[in-house]
A and B are shown apart, each in its own frame.
Chain A
């Protein structure tokens, strides 16, 4: 039989995501990614590995790109969380990064795309003048299996060059 430990007892958790408040009940062991996807219904954040390598689950936590598969929901309380659902305007106007990914063919299957968008948003917001080499290094945090990255880099660079993010 499984033993009941403190980690198994669900507790109330409050998450602030894209400016909205979500009151959920979650076990302390529940990851932020699962809480976002299954409890908040924000399935735009994807899971490609659940061990911190692929970056498909990247969200912004107080402006910093983080792997939501490596955080617990309970740890993320009190922070401003941003996910891909919050990038476009309320009227549906795409964020410049979303538009650039579209124009530059920066996605194929689209599974990695939310992670790359949030990573790029976090990077450009904190370092709008980031150099090409550092940008490539930052983007090397995430995996894409379809595009070969070239068009992703072009898309992010174009937004940086236009000073739009």
Chain B
């Protein structure tokens, strides 16, 4: 057999063509960070606190320095000139005192807090030597609950619009609940790493340092590292290679990135750091971990007139690059697809002695969707209405689009650009055969099985601006080169960008080469996050290719936008609960998702199905638990449980293109996160239904232990 067929000379947007990225990855020729090495490279190992909270008296490195193969070892004093790591997004002055320095100085604030580094000729020797460091800590009482009075309270985000007081005063019923989403995270299969290589340069910037293993936001990270190390912006060059999964976690600027670059410059040799899995689970951003108290003022028809929400966000030991991004998104997107004319919310950011937190796929939405949809289910139960019916009554109608939510997030007003939410709900229910499915499940319950159905709806956001640049050039021999400041985290962006370019230029997409993540090839770039690449880079390449078609050899274009696009979705889960063990099996999962226009439906479906797996993990399995001393209990894949194929149900995807975005010429919205968003909500509702107890599941993950305790009440 030959290689897979590739369509030629056809319209390509909307076609499920095979990926350009795959061949090297299939034959073992991927260039992930760990695969890159240089002759004279050194290896860095981080010494970390194994106490959750304490006064750091000092780090004894004498034995380390005497160990075989060790070239250098440093504690905080040696890097005291490096500033704390700043916010990349959603910064607040109140949070700034809590930014993380590259090595902890006076206090350690979580198990895993870096306190020293060891650099040696060989990774085994670096690890051996790091074991000899003497970390002298006087333990302090750890704070482990965000809502405890001891938690440092730098900031509360507040928002209010409409007349909340009047809505509650005039409510027919008030429905109230408390709900918690546990701490879990993206956990890409490739751990983090960086290789910094000094190179003598004769260019205008003189000597430079190249960074391999950089990801997600290469330009931002290079410019920031340069500034922190006192270099000119062009002296730090990003060399993005293959990236083994991002999910919000990888590619943020971490202390280790500064330590590695600093070491390479100071020692004048390439320095490589690849963390092990335990380190990843201790040190890379955690996420979720929000606890809510919400009330709804509901009128006689079951319409929610107001929501009043109060939540605690457990930020862990420091505030990292995301600043207040996650709670800010929770604040803005909690009302979701429903009218909710009046809304008040307070989001309390609290510091605890756990790993610092950041974004993870559907940040702030997985959490707030769980809470809002639990609230809608509670309203349905209070009024004796079907869960689908209560949602239908509250949905924003298509004639209200664009719909101004009256709140800002990520620096832009939340204005839903387009959508027919009720139509998507109908499509989901039709596909399920809703009535007969419910009857069938009731019959199975009658026969003794614990089976149930749950649904959840949501509005996602995508395509964060404000700009993206693209340069397109014809190559000798008929090919086309696209250069972008975006990045790849394994999502298939090269293929999607090539498809759009090929369609405009009427060439074969396999003849389009997409270069990304090389910071010396293009002046600026915002990278890959917030499901932005297909929209922002996609439209920019469309504009540049259109110009190239008209003018000739090379063209550049910028796509600017002040607004995000808002895809929307509805999930349904059918689950079976084992009465003996409390174990939950997801029998069937359906995602209806409107992305405006799918450039490559196969890749969109891949994003959704993969997103569902992560959502199921968060709903049922994954939890960073801590003991009462703040010791993390999930430090390996034996304790941090991610779904395998055995836990993954068949996922049916109903891809819809009812509502193209009016904000860009292709109608695109991003597809990266909607597979995850409502998993917690739909599965919790399905468990309630299965055990016949509306409103039973109020915290995630719904572990066997939790479900068993619910069965016993």
A interface residue numbers (CB < 8 A to B): 1-2, 27, 29-30, 37-38, 42-51, 53-54, 56, 83-85, 87-88, 93-94, 96, 98-99, 101-103, 105, 107-114, 117, 136-137, 139-153
Contacts and interface: CB of A to CB of B under 8 A. Distances in A.
A92 to B, nearest CB: 8
Given A111-B190, A114-B28, A137-B646, A50 B21 contact: no
A105 B28 contact: no
A102 B387 CA distance: 40
Contacts of B37: 38
Nearest to B603: A105
A111 B1 contact: no
Interface residues of B, number: 64
29 contacts: A1-B66, A1-B67, A2-B68, A37-B34, A42-B28, A46-B189, A46-B244, A49-B277, A51-B277, A54-B637, A83-B28, A87-B28, A98-B26, A102-B4, A105-B602, A110-B30, A110-B242, A110-B244, A110-B490, A111-B188, A111-B490, A140-B646, A143-B189, A143-B642, A145-B245, A146-B245, A149-B645, A150-B651, A153-B645
A53 B645 contact: no
B22 A88 contact: no
B19 A145 contact: no
A87 B245 contact: no
Contacts of A56: 189
A148 B636 contact: no
A38 B36 CA distance: 10
B645 A109 contact: no
B329 to A, nearest CB: 22
Contact of A149 (B22, B124, B242, B613): B613
A53 B68 contact: no
A122 to B, nearest CB: 16
Contact of A2 (B28, B67, B614, B675): B67
A53 B638 contact: yes
A162 B529 CA distance: 40
B6 to A, nearest CB: 11
B321 interface: no
Contacts of B35: 37, 43
A29 B127 CA distance: 13
Interface string B55-95: 00000000100111000000000000000000000000000
A29 B291 CA distance: 46
A101 B606 CA distance: 13
B491 A108 contact: yes
B1 A51 contact: no
Given A48-B189, A51-B637, 7 more contacts: A46-B32, A99-B3, A108-B492, A112-B189, A136-B646, A148-B611, A148-B651
A101 B25 CA distance: 10
Contact of A108 (B2, B32, B67, B606): B606
Interface of B: 1-4, 18-19, 21-23, 25-30, 32, 34-35, 37, 63, 66-68, 124, 128-129, 132, 186-191, 242-245, 247, 276-277, 489-492, 602-603, 606, 609-614, 636-638, 642, 644-646, 648, 650-651, 675
Contacts of B242: 109-111
Nearest to A115: B189
B26 A117 contact: yes
Contacts of B609: 147-148, 150-151
A30 to B, nearest CB: 8
Contacts of A44: 27-30
A53 B648 contact: no
Contact of A48 (B3, B190, B247): B190
Contact of B26 (A37, A107, A145, A148): A107
A9 B234 CA distance: 44
Tell me whether chain B's interface is mostly helix, strand or loop, or mixed: loop
A46 B34 contact: yes
B642 to A, nearest CB: 6
A93 B18 CA distance: 17
Nearest to A135: B645
A151 B642 CA distance: 18
Contact of B132 (A2, A46, A49, A88): A2
Nearest to A104: B602
Nearest to A56: B189
A69 B123 CA distance: 15
A140 B645 contact: yes
A56 to B, nearest CB: 6
B63 A1 contact: yes
B235 to A, nearest CB: 29
A109 B243 contact: yes
Contacts of B67: 1-2
Contacts of A142: 644
A45 B28 contact: yes
Contact of B22 (A38, A50, A110, A140): A110
Contacts of B22: 101-102, 107, 110
Contact of A87 (B21, B27, B489): B27
A85 B191 CA distance: 22
B26 A113 contact: yes
Given A46-B32, A56-B189, A109-B244, A150 B638 contact: no
Nearest to B653: A150
Contact of B28 (A85, A102, A147): A85
Contact of A150 (B2, B18, B277, B648): B648
Contacts of A46: 32, 34, 189-190, 244
Contact of A109 (B490, B603, B614): B490
A140 B28 CA distance: 22
Contacts of A101: 22, 26
Contacts of A53: 636-638
Contacts of A108: 245, 490-492, 606, 610
Contact of B189 (A88, A98, A141, A145): A145
Nearest to A92: B27
A139 B643 CA distance: 12
Nearest to B27: A88
Nearest to B125: A2
A152 B644 CA distance: 12
B610 A103 contact: no
A152 B153 CA distance: 46
A145 B187 contact: yes
Contact of B4 (A47, A85, A103): A103
Nearest to B606: A105
A88 B3 CA distance: 12
